Amino acid sequence: MKSYLLVALMLFSSSVSFSYGFFWKNGKKKAKQELNKNQTDTKESIKKAPSWYDDTPTKKGYEYYSATELAPGMQEAVEIASLIAGNMLAASLKSERTGYKKQFTKVLGLEMMKEYTSTIDQTLADETFDYKLVKKKIIPQQSGSGGEVYRAYVLIEYDKGAQEARMLEEIERNKALYEKIAATEAFDEMSRKVEEYRERQKNK
């Protein structure tokens, strides 16, 4: 009787061990499959990234931003990556406008400062910045689920003088505002950048 009981316990133990091992291995396999399902980038695909993505060009008077995006379609990947780069550019230009505001605050009274802020913000609020898509690279990749996706790298170029030119035009239209800040160092800096911008436009 004891021998039968011992055999039964051994069979039960083996069954439990087998079941545990089976479900453990399957669970790990399933988890790995879920982990890899959306995986696309590999060491090889990362090596294909263009050099200008991490090392953007430098050129006087211009700003460059790079971005990357993954999408099911090539054009979609390029458009989203360009939008990301454009948003980074917009944040940089907004920061520059804030810098001008701080400098003009020293010479403008509260009411005139409000007028300046209103004039500039209205001029540039709905502006679509005229940047150029100067480089792009599209890399087809296979997702972990077996589908094809595209990794797009883009580089945009923006002539920084374009923003100053629009700001200067609006300031010059407002005689009172112009007379108040025309002699400031910040205004001289803006005027110089606009002149350089206009020269670049002539030479295009």
Could you report the per-residue pLDDT of 58-72, keeping only the tens digit for each? 998 899 999 999 999
pLDDT exceeds cutoff 80 at 32:
no
Distance between CA 178 and CA 34 in Å, rounded?
63
Per-residue pLDDT tens over the stretch 128-154: 667 999 999 999 987 666 678 899 999
Q: Where are the domains of the chain?
A: 1-37, 43-202
Does residue 15 register a pLDDT over 50? no
E-strand stretches of the chain:
62-71, 132-142, 148-159
What are 32's two structure tokens? 């790995």
- DSSP structure class, residue 158: E
